[in-house]
A and B are shown apart, each in its own frame.
Chain A
Amino acid sequence: MEPLYADDFYFLGLIVLAPLLGAIINGLFGARLPRKVVDWVACGAMAFSFVFALISLQGLVGHAATQESDGGFGPHLTYTVYQWIFRGDLNADIAFLFDPLTAVLVLVITGVGFLIHIYSVGYMADDPDKWRYFAYLNLFAFAMLMLVLGQNMLVTFIGWEGVGLCSYLLIGFWYNDEKKAAAGQKAFIVNRVGDFFFILGMFLIFYTAGTWDYVELHEMATSTATVVQLLPIAFPAGLLIFLGCTGKSAQIPLYVWLPDAMAGPTPVSALIHAATMVTAGVFLLCRLNWLITLSPALMAIIAVTGALTAIVAASIAIVQNDIKRVLAYSTVSQLGFMFMAVGVGAFVAAIFHLMTHAFFKALLFLGAGSVIHGMHHEQDIRKMGGLKSLMPWTHATFLAATLAIAGVPLFAGFYSKDLVLWNSLANTHVLGIEGVMPMIEGAQNSLGALAQYLTVDVAPVVEDAGGEAVEVVSWALAVNWGVYLVGLITAGLTAFYMFRLYFMTFHGECRADEETKAHIHESPNSMVGPLSILGVLSVIGGYIGWPHFLARYFPEGLQPYVLGLEHWLADVFAVSNEFRLVGRFGESPYGPEAIAASAAIVIAGAGIALAYVMYIKRPELPGVIHERTTRIYKVLMNKYYVDEAYDFLFVRSTLWLGKASYWFDRYIIAGLLVGGVAFMTQSLGAVLSNLQSGSVQRYATYITLALVLIFIAIFYGVI
């Protein structure tokens, strides 16, 4: 075998190729293949992809060992499949980039994806269109891998659109059900709105930077001479791309499609609408971290949006009764956490939470799928209960995931959520005015542009941070506290609604009717297996990112591992961490960190305790509270009437616009203009056609008259 070079690492191509082949085989021939073969092709494709991802990871580690950290892009492998577009200034190849950030995402996608494929074998066992399902699922994996592996924004965009398409196809998988087909369309259309902004952002970046290549863009953003060009577009381009991300990652204002997306098969909800696709926005913002950190105003917008989304979705999740709907709103809420982390500049925390969330939320969805499967497609938790003894494996794994998402120490979710909360408290995500100053030295124009795009009142407050005077903008502090407190409350709400769900599903009396009760059974091994593996990951997945105040107590040899993720991603976010973000508590703030972690634990415990009291100890309490707060309950039950508002604002107005346009087209364009021209021609023709009588004698007369006229004209010199 010839040696592999870092810029021609063909395993990257194979990672993407495997699921594509699987999709092609199942898509074209699946209907005629035996069902067993369909299963093997689909799962095999994912398994191969996962293996190739591991090989690439090994290659990356090997490559990183030979590289000195030089403040550049950091170690990365690339592979160019072929030159796609080279036209003038536009140069875009089908090329893949594998750096530590991509590695995390690729491993999550292929790993969790593989488990969910295995699970689907059992879950979709009775479906006659299984081949179609697996073709879509593999196609989704292909698109998602394109998204994260793309070396330039255009390849990312292909994947971006591809996952949207697959999401649409899979939500509307049972297209005979009109409601489900409509949910698919809703997801697709809302996503398209976001994609439109993403395209605009891409154009703006290309217009300014002249390239879509991440490595080249990164170079521009980190060099003193060229960052000046990027500064003016950091806010608008970043905002456009962020709006694109709100569509794909279900943030306010475009989150409405995700709860409806639960119409698809449950493994799809687990893979696409919890673990992978919806995190694409978080990934993209992390990928472009050096761009968005140029604009503190943008960072604040992202953080506030994330926090608002988190608390709004969590509050809706409290009252929902559909098991998948609770999980859907929980996903929106957790994505809000990730955006919050991005907004405060804690990119490592965002990726960390993305990863652990992929584990425990996929597990929650698969567990919910197992429950739904066992209860013959019953999704209402009011009709469940007492499943603990009937479905022991599902119960155990679901409990692990619930503990993880609630933020109980030693479970994965605790570590990532704590990191997010801690960072949102500590990072005053302010453009370190000092830090940027030398970069834009001698560039008065860009300073003016900067002030213009900051669009904030730059009123510096001097704070003491580790003995150093640091300039902090006052509004940023307010945003900080707001975001942190909202995040903390949301963490409490999360613990509460997740344990409400858990208690109502697995504890107490079984409220199903007798016939269903008799048939409740544990799911087959192909479903329980993935649940168990994800259960283990939901516990240990957090051990690569211990809080700093605890990490220092670990023995020397373990140090690289207990802060593993932070070290692993250090190069990717080097620029952002280095001089654009100022920690409020200085270099090693172990005390405040411990207090913040304790606060998170206490509030999570409070949420769990409240759920325990309300749904185990005194089951009559929810009814009482419901009666006292009918109004609030109703608003929450109806999801703040956002769907209705959107329906009124956008759907109705679009319909009205359509009707008006139809009228205008029908009567003005078609009637007056087109019809008018036709009428004129017709009537003129009717008049003139009298001349063509068919009588030869008349024709002779015309000729004569014409000749006479011509002679007269010549005679008088007219012609």
Chain B
Amino acid sequence: MAWVSTLISYWEPTLAHYLLLSAAVFSIGLIGVMVRRNALIVFMSIELMLNSVNLSFISFARYRFEMDGHVFAFFIMAVAAAEAAVALAIVIHVFRHKRGVNVDEMQELKY
């Protein structure tokens, strides 16, 4: 079964693969943020973007055999958790206020 190990070694993911994946996830998140109407989905898209950045950090950390990236990843996770709490609270508040979480209807920022 030498061809299997060859195939596996051939498919072994390199840094580029991880970065491509990260970019893809980031783009999906970004597009989600830009086009989705439901605030919860937008919020989830933001989580996607954060996690794609996490993935880049980890990849680089692994690639360079350093721990800095891990530190950042933990930071981002902690911040994301905190952010999730605050964001959900805001969403709930908005829902109570407007009976809905459609971001198209939230345009008060311009005032």
Contact in complex: A701, B110 (CB < 8 Å)? no
User: How close is B58's CB to chain A, nearest CB, in angstroms?
Assistant: 23
Q: Would you list which residues of chain A between 666 and 719 have a CB under 8 Å from chain B?
A: 692-697, 699-701, 704
Contact in complex: A697, B103 (CB < 8 Å)? yes
Bound together, the chains give a CA A696 to CA B42 distance in angstroms of: 11
Contact in complex: B107, A693 (CB < 8 Å)? yes
B85 in the interface (beta carbon within 8 A): no
Contact in complex: A697, B33 (CB < 8 Å)? yes
Contact in complex: A695, B35 (CB < 8 Å)? no
Residues of chain A lying within 8 A (CB to CB) of residue B111? 694
Bound together, the chains give a CA A701 to CA B42 distance in angstroms of: 13
Q: Would you list which residues of chain B between 87 and 111 have a CB under 8 Å from chain A?
A: 103-104, 106-111
B84 in the interface (beta carbon within 8 A): no
Tally the A-B contacts, defined by beta carbons under 8 Å.
29
Residues of chain B lying within 8 A (CB to CB) of residue A699? 109
User: How close is B85's CB to chain A, nearest CB, in angstroms?
Assistant: 19
Residues of chain B lying within 8 A (CB to CB) of residue A695? 103-104, 106-107, 109
B1 in the interface (beta carbon within 8 A): no
B61 in the interface (beta carbon within 8 A): no
Contact in complex: A694, B35 (CB < 8 Å)? no
Bound together, the chains give a CA A697 to CA B107 distance in angstroms of: 10
Partner pick for B34 among A692, A693, A697, CB 8 A cutoff: A697
User: How close is A699's CB to chain B, nearest CB, in angstroms?
Assistant: 8
Residues of chain B lying within 8 A (CB to CB) of residue A693? 107, 110
Partner pick for A694 among B30, B42, B108, CB 8 A cutoff: B108
Bound together, the chains give a CA A507 to CA B109 distance in angstroms of: 96
Residues of chain A lying within 8 A (CB to CB) of residue B103? 695-697
Contact in complex: B35, A697 (CB < 8 Å)? yes
CB closest residue in chain B, given A704: B30
Contact in complex: A692, B110 (CB < 8 Å)? yes
CB closest residue in chain B, given A691: B110
A interface, over-half SS: helix
Q: Would you list which residues of chain A between 469 and 523 have a CB under 8 Å from chain B?
A: none
Considering only CB atoms and an 8 Å cut-off, how many residues of chain A contact the other chain? 10
CB closest residue in chain A, given B36: A697
Contact in complex: A701, B109 (CB < 8 Å)? no
Residues of chain A lying within 8 A (CB to CB) of residue B107? 693-695
User: How close is A709's CB to chain B, nearest CB, in angstroms?
Assistant: 15
Contact in complex: B34, A704 (CB < 8 Å)? yes
Bound together, the chains give a CA A692 to CA B108 distance in angstroms of: 11
Residues of chain A lying within 8 A (CB to CB) of residue B34? 697, 700-701, 704
User: How close is A464's CB to chain B, nearest CB, in angstroms?
Assistant: 102
Residues of chain A lying within 8 A (CB to CB) of residue B30? 700, 704
Bound together, the chains give a CA A274 to CA B43 distance in angstroms of: 95
Bound together, the chains give a CA A696 to CA B103 distance in angstroms of: 8
CB closest residue in chain A, given B35: A697
Residues of chain B lying within 8 A (CB to CB) of residue A696? 103, 106, 109
Bound together, the chains give a CA A704 to CA B34 distance in angstroms of: 9
Bound together, the chains give a CA A697 to CA B42 distance in angstroms of: 9
Contact in complex: A694, B33 (CB < 8 Å)? no
CB closest residue in chain A, given B37: A697
Report B57-88 CB contacts with A as 1/0, cut-off 8 Å: 00000000000000000000000000000000
Bound together, the chains give a CA A693 to CA B34 distance in angstroms of: 14
Bound together, the chains give a CA A700 to CA B108 distance in angstroms of: 16
Bound together, the chains give a CA A194 to CA B42 distance in angstroms of: 82
Bound together, the chains give a CA A701 to CA B104 distance in angstroms of: 14
Bound together, the chains give a CA A701 to CA B35 distance in angstroms of: 9
Partner pick for A700 among B33, B104, B106, B110, CB 8 A cutoff: B33
Bound together, the chains give a CA A348 to CA B109 distance in angstroms of: 89
CB closest residue in chain A, given B107: A694
User: How close is A604's CB to chain B, nearest CB, in angstroms?
Assistant: 93
Residues of chain A lying within 8 A (CB to CB) of residue B108? 694
User: How close is B47's CB to chain A, nearest CB, in angstroms?
Assistant: 15
Bound together, the chains give a CA A695 to CA B109 distance in angstroms of: 7
Report A339-352 CB contacts with B as 1/0, cut-off 8 Å: 00000000000000
Bound together, the chains give a CA A286 to CA B33 distance in angstroms of: 94
User: How close is B13's CB to chain A, nearest CB, in angstroms?
Assistant: 26
Residues of chain B lying within 8 A (CB to CB) of residue A692? 110
Bound together, the chains give a CA A361 to CA B33 distance in angstroms of: 99
Residues of chain A lying within 8 A (CB to CB) of residue B109? 694-696, 699
Bound together, the chains give a CA A701 to CA B32 distance in angstroms of: 11
| Residue from the set A692, A693, A695 with the largest chain B CB neighbour count within 10 Å | A695
Residues of chain B lying within 8 A (CB to CB) of residue A700? 30, 33-34
Bound together, the chains give a CA A695 to CA B42 distance in angstroms of: 13
CB closest residue in chain A, given B104: A695
Report B11-33 CB contacts with A as 1/0, cut-off 8 Å: 00000000000000000001001
CB closest residue in chain A, given B110: A694
Bound together, the chains give a CA A86 to CA B42 distance in angstroms of: 77
User: How close is A585's CB to chain B, nearest CB, in angstroms?
Assistant: 98
Report A613-627 CB contacts with B as 1/0, cut-off 8 Å: 000000000000000
Q: Would you list which residues of chain A between 154 and 205 have a CB under 8 Å from chain B?
A: none
User: How close is B29's CB to chain A, nearest CB, in angstroms?
Assistant: 11
Bound together, the chains give a CA A700 to CA B29 distance in angstroms of: 12
User: How close is A703's CB to chain B, nearest CB, in angstroms?
Assistant: 10
User: How close is A708's CB to chain B, nearest CB, in angstroms?
Assistant: 11
User: How close is A578's CB to chain B, nearest CB, in angstroms?
Assistant: 89
Bound together, the chains give a CA A481 to CA B103 distance in angstroms of: 104
CB closest residue in chain B, given A692: B110
User: How close is B49's CB to chain A, nearest CB, in angstroms?
Assistant: 11
Bound together, the chains give a CA A701 to CA B36 distance in angstroms of: 12
Bound together, the chains give a CA A704 to CA B26 distance in angstroms of: 12
Q: Would you list which residues of chain A between 138 and 162 have a CB under 8 Å from chain B?
A: none
Residues of chain A lying within 8 A (CB to CB) of residue B42? 697
Bound together, the chains give a CA A701 to CA B33 distance in angstroms of: 9
User: How close is A398's CB to chain B, nearest CB, in angstroms?
Assistant: 86
Residues of chain B lying within 8 A (CB to CB) of residue A704? 30, 34
User: How close is B36's CB to chain A, nearest CB, in angstroms?
Assistant: 8
- Pairs A–B under 8 Å by Cβ, sample size 12: A693-B107, A693-B110, A694-B107, A694-B109, A694-B111, A695-B103, A696-B103, A696-B106, A697-B34, A697-B42, A704-B30, A704-B34
Interface residues, chain B, with chain A CB atoms under 8 Å away: 30, 33-35, 42, 103-104, 106-111
- Known: A692-B110, A699-B109, A700-B30; 19 extra A-B contacts, CB below 8 A, are A693-B107, A693-B110, A694-B106, A694-B107, A694-B108, A694-B109, A694-B110, A695-B103, A695-B104, A695-B106, A695-B107, A695-B109, A696-B109, A697-B33, A697-B103, A700-B33, A701-B34, A704-B30, A704-B34
Interface residues, chain A, with chain B CB atoms under 8 Å away: 692-697, 699-701, 704
For the complex of A and B, the 8 pairs showing the least CB-CB separation, nearest first, are A694-B110, A694-B107, A694-B109, A692-B110, A701-B34, A695-B107, A700-B33, A697-B34
